[in-house]
Structure 1
Amino acid sequence: MTLDLSLYLVTDTGLCGQRGVPETVREAVAGGVSVVQLRDHALDDRAFVALGQAVRAELDALHRAGGPRAPLIVDDRVHLVSEIGADGAHVGQADLPVPQARELLGPHGILGLSVTHAGQLEVAREHGRAVDYLGLGPVWATATKPGHAAPFGPEGLAELAAASPWPTVAIGGIDAAGAATLRGTGVAGIAVVSAICGQPSPREAAVTLRQVWAGSAQGVSA
């Protein structure tokens, strides 16, 4: 599967509200989201699987109807990827180590790794082809991930992206205005949470973000 990191959605169950995560994901992908990461630390494994399968069903239905094919990535819980029917997983520095995650996923599953500073990037190099992409962040402070590392801003992002041997996606406090600022930093795309999950229309928010990232629209607050 070709991995298009240009507009990467990380879900937030609370921000999705009454609309729910599956419908939010469907609308966002229809609007241009290219990758979906399912994240919910509050759910137990059983509830997380049920949510993931519901999201998978929406993505498959959208694709069958002629819509885009967006990979589904599971945050942290690599052991649930197969049961959900997801395409891969994303791990942080305190999650399952990359070698074990790759062993569980097999050779074809997508595996992303979070990096917050240059030291982690240097350590990550030893993983080689076990990793498919890096999530670099936080660029700016964000309320959607309490206890996050110190933000490094656009300049720090550009330095990390230039040093990475893998494709990279920026995350952390990014809205449409921020997306415009980050276009020249060398990352392959932007990852957002509240800029889509917290909006009245996830589809319209995704359309705006994709246009801004492509340089065909001005950056405005999403």
Structure 2
Amino acid sequence: MDLRCYVVTGNQPAAKVVRVAERAAAGGAGVIQVRSKPIAAGRLLELVEQVAVAVAAANPATKVLVDDRVDVAAILMRRGLPVHGVHVGQSDIPVTAARELLGPDAIIGLTTGTAELIEKANRFAEVIDYVGAGPFRPTPTKDSGRPPIGVAGYPGLAALSRVPVVAIGDVQPGDVAKLAGTGIAGVAMVRAFMDSPDPGELAARVLADFEGGM
């Protein structure tokens, strides 16, 4: 799993979400997380399937994850769709239950953002594959209630965590090189990709900047 360029979809029309995911994957994005709130479960099921098929055709190495909905991921994985796991928050289904339902090969990510939450996540290091840590800065797409971490906060969190750390929370392309030097495994972006005229070019640039900043 390549976490360097991690794309999170936004609340946009399904056709645009699929197009952005497909182009980002073609540009080298390692992970596409389908997070299109608010959306009904049935529509989310259809959207994730469309994204998974498009992403697999564009870049079979890119992993597709579902935000929060372990049931949606389980259904599609059991149907043989190229869906690879879930990302869950602190108040969602526990990671142990998600692992029990999805099996040993699924990718499971967990939201964190403070040293206390990282230490809590460390207890499940054998269950989860990575943690998302945010917000990097205040973001209009998700109010976590946690203080912004900033570039200076990530080295400590990365050193503390027993699993790879992904920075999230209004991360912009200009932040990538600085964040890459903090010990994290990658950066997650929402608006930067959903608003980009060329998600494929942006993904390639994020990868290059991340490598250059390490």
Compared with structure 1, are the counterparts of its residues 109 and 18 closer, same or farther at alpha carbon in structure 2 (3 Å cutoff)? closer
Compared with structure 1, are the counterparts of its residues 132 and 18 closer, same or farther at alpha carbon in structure 2 (3 Å cutoff)? closer
Per-residue Cα deviation, 1:98-157 (whole angstroms, up to 9, x for no partner): 111111111111100111111111122221311111111111111121354211111111
The structure 2 residue matched to 1:138, chosen from 131, 135, 138, is 135
2:16 corresponds to 1:20: yes
2:52 corresponds to 1:35: no
Compared with structure 1, are the counterparts of its residues 150 and 99 closer, same or farther at alpha carbon in structure 2 (3 Å cutoff)? same
CA distance in 2 between counterparts of 1:68 and 1:80 reads 21
Is the Cα–Cα contact under 8 Å of residues 139 and 151 in structure 1 kept in the other structure? yes
CA distance in 1 between counterparts of 2:144 and 2:124 reads 26
Instruction: Structure 1 unaligned segments of length 5 or more: list them.
Output: 217-222
Q: How does 1:98-137 map to 2 (within 5 A)?
A: 98-137=95-134
Is the Cα–Cα contact under 8 Å of residues 30 and 203 in structure 1 kept in the other structure? yes
The structure 1 residue matched to 2:202, chosen from 183, 205, 211, is 205
Q: Say which is worse superposed, 122-131 or 105-114, in terms of deviation.
A: 122-131
Q: Which amino acid aligns with 2:3?
A: L
SS in 2 for 1:135: strand
Alignment partner, residue 190 of structure 1:
187
SS in 1 for 2:123: helix
CA distance in 2 between counterparts of 1:33 and 1:148 reads 28
Alignment partner, residue 3 of structure 2:
5
Size of the alignment, in residue pairs?
A: 208
Is the Cα–Cα contact under 8 Å of residues 13 and 20 in structure 1 kept in the other structure? no
CA offset at residue 178 of structure 1?
A: 0.8
CA RMSD of aligned residues (A): 1.6
CA distance in 2 between counterparts of 1:193 and 1:143 reads 11
Q: Say which is worse superposed, 139-148 or 50-59, in terms of deviation.
A: 139-148
SS in 2 for 1:36: strand
CA distance in 1 between counterparts of 2:15 and 2:100 reads 36
Q: How does 1:150-189 map to 2 (within 5 A)?
A: 150-189=147-186
Per-residue Cα deviation, 1:158-185 (whole angstroms, up to 9, x for no partner): 1101100101111111111111211210
CA offset at residue 87 of structure 1?
A: 0.4
CA offset at residue 82 of structure 1?
A: 2.6
Q: Which amino acid aligns with 1:21?
A: V
Q: Which amino acid aligns with 2:203?
A: A
Q: Percent identity over the alignment?
A: 38
The structure 1 residue matched to 2:65, chosen from 45, 57, 73, is 73
CA offset at residue 79 of structure 1?
A: 1.1
Alignment partner, residue 56 of structure 1:
52
TM normalised by structure 2 equals 0.91
2:74 corresponds to 1:82: yes
Regions of 4+ moved over 6 Å? none
Q: Which amino acid aligns with 2:11?
A: T
